[in-house]
Structure 1
Amino acid sequence: MTRQPISVALVEDDPAVRQRFKASIEKQPQLTWIGEATSVREGKALLGDNCPRVLLVDLGLPDGSGLEVITEAAHHCPATEVMVVSMFGDEGHVIQAIEAGASGYLLKDMDDESLTEHIIQLVDGGSPMSPMIARHLLKKMRQSEEPDQAAASGISLTKREMQLLKLLARGYTYREVADELSVSSHTVNSHIKNLYRKLSVKTKNEAVFAATRQGLLDMRHLD
């Protein structure tokens, strides 16, 4: 079955970058361009008018940080997938963006074809990241506290929640999780809400990261 084109919007203050991204997206028949903003204020207004399926956000904006726009999207457009596209590739910006609700993080030096491919991957349940960004996250996880120390947090996940968490870590979409576990989408959503509440997170990336940091999930053993 052919799906509807994926709606994409962009928050970026550089005119050349906006034109480049817009041209790339309009060439891809699976994507449709619905708008752009050049600042935090305009980005929030854009979300107030229409929630895109994918929102691309730069972090360095003239009137503040793109993190504010990401937070706004998480609160008011929960179905919107946010992907950072930035020049900032340091660990601090990466962690803050993911904690705010971003599900992908790309550096601006990637080619235009990769951008459109990553947008489609994001909607299909992936978490596209530039290699340097992925390395920062791995480093952060290695530096996290030891599992036996983390266990003192008192967080306890049910067997089903652990199954779901491992599938999310393997890149499964919610629909694929439902099929794999032979349960309804409603049941998956219920488990997701409980899992997020226990881990105090808002996105699947945050859930995987938090569970790994607290010793509840070992990325080397996801079977």
Structure 2
Amino acid sequence: MGAPVRVVLVDDHEMILAGLQAMLAGFAGRVRVVGQAGNAADATRLVTMLRPDVVLLDVRLGPESGLDLCRALTGTVPEARVVFLSVYDDEQYVFEALRAGAGGYLLKRVDGPELVRRLEEVAQGETVVDPTLAGRMAVTAARLTRGEFWPGANRGLTQRESEVLSLLVGGLSNKAIAARLVLSEETVKSHLRALYRKLEVADRSAAIAVALREGLFR
């Protein structure tokens, strides 16, 4: 057997970090947790210093974006592969994660043996996706291949971000968008931050202007 996969854990919930530590402790010969962080700044410092094989990262880090952190880490420490461990089972998050440079996307219901196996695969250069998401991803990928794009897909918007932008153009407030899409206001704000970045704008009025100018919504 080779050396254990060296892993840094990143999650803004201490209970999740403790649970992962306990889960992986039983596989010490295959995986070794070398550090943990609860925010993007600490994670960047740790990963830069420790140079782990894998960073196990949540999509959301409180008000911060795990996707943004992934982009930063893959740019500065490319040898440390990022695997997302998330509660979000929407295939759009998977596509976003892979576009951000991640080597994998798993759901938090994964058990210990499966998690260890996936971490080993990623450390060996493979890309892994939770099996429960694979089928839905294939359907979405087929739609994209056939050219069935949603508005804004050519700018990198996920389907959910496109829906949020559509409601933004329709004049709805964050609270109204959240109610319409059955999301929390914080989740809506997260989608807005992401679509602002992709459209290269700073606020909702500029995002609406881009959407109208490019004919995304009429």
TM-score where L is the length of structure 2: 0.62
- 2:63 and 2:146 map into 1 onto residues whose CA distance is 40
For 1:80, the aligned partner's letter is A
CA 1:117–1:145 in structure 2 vs 1: closer, same or farther (change >3 Å)? closer
Which consecutive segments of 4 or more residues in structure 1 shift more than 3 A? Answer: none
Say if 2:24 is the partner of 1:21: no
Conserved? CA contact 1:40–1:63, under 8 Å? no
1:82 aligns to what SS in structure 2? Answer: strand
Conserved? CA contact 2:30–2:116, under 8 Å? no
1:143 aligns to what SS in structure 2? Answer: helix
**Among the aligned pairs, what percent are the same residue?**
25
For 2:36, the aligned partner's letter is E
Conserved? CA contact 2:54–2:82, under 8 Å? yes
User: Which residue does the alignment assign to 1:32?
Assistant: 32
Offset at 1:120?
A: 1.1
Offset at 1:95?
A: 1.1
Offset at 1:49?
A: 1.8
Which digits, 9 at most, give the CA deviation of each residue in 1:26-64, with x for residues without a partner? 221121111011112222222222221011000111131
User: Which residue does the alignment assign to 1:47?
Assistant: 47
Which digits, 9 at most, give the CA deviation of each residue in 1:112-171, with x for residues without a partner? 221112111222333222123212321221112349xxxxxxxxxxxxxxxxxxxxxxxx
1:144 aligns to what SS in structure 2? Answer: helix
* Stretches of structure 2 lacking an aligned partner (at least 5 in a row): 148-218
Conserved? CA contact 2:104–2:122, under 8 Å? yes
Conserved? CA contact 1:105–1:133, under 8 Å? no
- 2:51 and 2:134 map into 1 onto residues whose CA distance is 28
Offset at 1:15?
A: 1.6
Aligned residues: 146
- 2:68 and 2:47 map into 1 onto residues whose CA distance is 12
2:118 aligns to what SS in structure 1? Answer: helix
For 1:12, the aligned partner's letter is D
- 2:66 and 2:6 map into 1 onto residues whose CA distance is 20
Across the aligned residues of Structure 1 and Structure 2, the Cα RMSD in angstroms comes to 1.7
Offset at 1:105?
A: 0.7
For 2:62, the aligned partner's letter is P
For 1:9, the aligned partner's letter is V
For 1:145, the aligned partner's letter is T
Instruction: State the structure with more CA Rg.
Output: 2
User: Which residue does the alignment assign to 1:116?
Assistant: 116
2:94 aligns to what SS in structure 1? Answer: helix
For 2:96, the aligned partner's letter is Q
For 1:56, the aligned partner's letter is L
For 2:86, the aligned partner's letter is S
User: Which residue does the alignment assign to 1:127?
Assistant: 127
User: Which residue does the alignment assign to 1:161?
Assistant: none
User: Which residue does the alignment assign to 2:11?
Assistant: 12
For 1:8, the aligned partner's letter is V
User: Which residue does the alignment assign to 2:216?
Assistant: none
Conserved? CA contact 1:12–1:57, under 8 Å? yes
